[in-house]
Structure formats: structure tokens, C-alpha cells
Amino acid sequence: MGQVLSESQIAGYHRDGFLVIPDFTDASACRAVKTRAEEILRAFDPESHRSVFTTNEQSRHADREFIESANGIHCFFEEEAFDEEGRLRQAKELSVNKIGHAMHDLDPVFAAFTYTTKLAGVAADIGIPDALALQSMYICKQPRIGGEVGCHQDATFLYTVPITVTGFWFAIEDATLENGCMWASPGGHRTSLRKKFVRNVENDGATFDVLDPNPLPEAPGDLVPLEVSAGTMIVLHGLLPHWSDVNRSDKSRHAYSLHCIAASADYPSWNWLQRSADLPLRRLSDMARAR
């Protein structure tokens, strides 16, 4: 597997804690995952699943459906999806915040998008030659109600020793200031981890443990916007503070996000996301070569 990134790109990633790669994915691949996500949304029964993804502070707890989504494909509603009577304000397809968290291993369209030699090469270039595909999300960022995602570090939610979690975020649609693009703190990965999201096996939930009380950078004041066009991939270090605003525009901001960890790192059993024995984690490089 040859090198994918240039030396300047690799240096820029380690300097800033993120790397923006325009035109990483072609339009046909973006259309394929968007079409598949829309099929999942159409088939989703909103009456049987009412889990809401609380974006402000990423929720102080996790419900059973969120925990179980580690091994499945679940839809989670926007916070503003329901009115005071508990009814959807708009069509279910325009009410879901995201789909998660194992599409990359359970759905062939998402698997084809995820397990590529190009992505495995990027992971190797930044220092993770043994990258395991841990978690996937299709994020809708719905028109008018697309929720804010508070400033956070991915290592809070997917912790390893040493910290290796890395986000690969794909713009399926254009991401702009208008529709809630991502913002990041250049160099902010050279800092401490503020919190851990620890699973409580007694109640099938998870809560935050504070490690460092110092606040993350103020959003958006201390962050820079990452406005990107469809097909762009953004690589995110696990300690990088990043944030996205609410979407009040009439345009959605679809994105696909994959989080990987190093196979050589320790992944504690108290992490909220625990895959079952019959759905083991798979290496990007192994799966890409097998395709």
C-alpha cells in the first residue's frame, strides 16, 4: 500500500490536529451512500424507536438504544423533531439527526464506501497502519432543526490507551456556515483530555467522568470554520476540540463519519461502545485488500 498523503499534508495534520482533503471521494460514491441512507430513513418506524440524540454537551447519559446501536443500525431523532404533544413536526426523513453506529460492517453500501485502500493509506500515513474501523455515523444535520454539536474531543467517547481514536469525516453534501459546517481549534489536540464517557453496566447507560476541569475552547470564537464541498474528507485527531452550529437554513448538511482506533492500543471495557463477539472489529487495510 503506497503513501497517499504528501509530506506537507502529514506535517500539517500533526501540526493542526486536522487535515482537509478536497475531492477525496467522487460524486458517485457520495450519491450511493446518500441514497442508501435515504432508504434506511424511509424504512425506519418512528413509533417503535424514539431515541433522541442530545447534541448539546453530547448528552449526560446514554439510553439503552444508544448503547445497543454499537451492534446495529439505529436512527436517532433531532432534539427539535417533536412538538409539545410528542408528535413529529415534519416528515420522519427530515427529523432524524443521525444513523449509527455499525453501518460500515452491516450494510454493503457503507462497507464499500469505508473499506478502501485509499482510506487505509491515509490512516497509515498519519501513524495508524493497524487502524480498526470502530464506529460509523451518517449525520443528516436536518434543515431548520439540525442540532448543535457542542465543542468536544472524540477521545472522550472512544477512549484508548494510548489515545489513538481518529475521525474520518466525509462531506456528502456541501458544508457551509449557513448549514452548520464543522469548526476546529488549530493545534488544540496538543492538550489534555477533559472528560471520559464511562459506561454503567448496571443501568445500560453512560455518564461523564471529568479528568480536567479546564474548559474547551469557546465556540465559535476560538475555532476556525471548515467550509468544504461534497467529496471532501476531514481527518480529526482524537484530542482535537471541534464543534458545529445548529442548522437553521433550508439546506441539509449530510455527512458520513468513521472513527478508527489502533489495533495495538488498549480499548477499555468501560467504553460505551462495545461490539459483540459475533461482530468483531476489522482492519481497514485487511478489508480493503479483500474487496
Asked if residues 128 and 265 have their Cβ atoms less than 8 Å apart, the reply is: no
CATH number at 95 reads: 2.60.120.620
DSSP β-ladder status, 73-77 and 233-237: unpaired
d(Cα 139, Cα 17) in Å, to the nearest integer? 22
Q: How far apart are CA 256 and CA 178, in angstroms?
A: 19
The pLDDT value given to residue 52: 59
Decide: 252 and 168 in contact? Cβ < 8 Å. Answer: no
How far apart, in Å, are the Cα atoms of 165 and each of 69, 126, 265? 19, 12, 10
36 — phi, psi (to 5°)? -65, -40
Question: What pLDDT does residue 291 have?
Answer: 78
Residue 60 has a pLDDT of 42
- pLDDT < 70 regions, the chain: 1, 48-63, 203-204
The answer to the question of residue 97 being in a domain is yes
2 is a domain residue: no
Phi-psi region of 169 (alpha: psi -120 to 50; beta: other; left: phi over 0): beta
Q: Is residue 1 part of a domain?
A: no
Is 283 in a helix, a strand, or coil? strand
The number of domains in the chain is 1
Q: What's the full length of the chain, in residues?
A: 291
Give the global pTM: 0.94
DSSP per position, 221-233: TTSEEE-B-TT-E
Looking at residue 64, what is its pLDDT? 75
Show the domain range for 285: 7-290
Residue type for position 206: A
pLDDT tens digit sequence for 211-229:
999 999 999 998 999 999 9
The per-residue pLDDT for range 104-159, each reduced to its tens digit, is 999 999 999 999 999 999 999 999 999 999 999 999 999 999 999 999 999 999 99
- pLDDT score of 111: 97
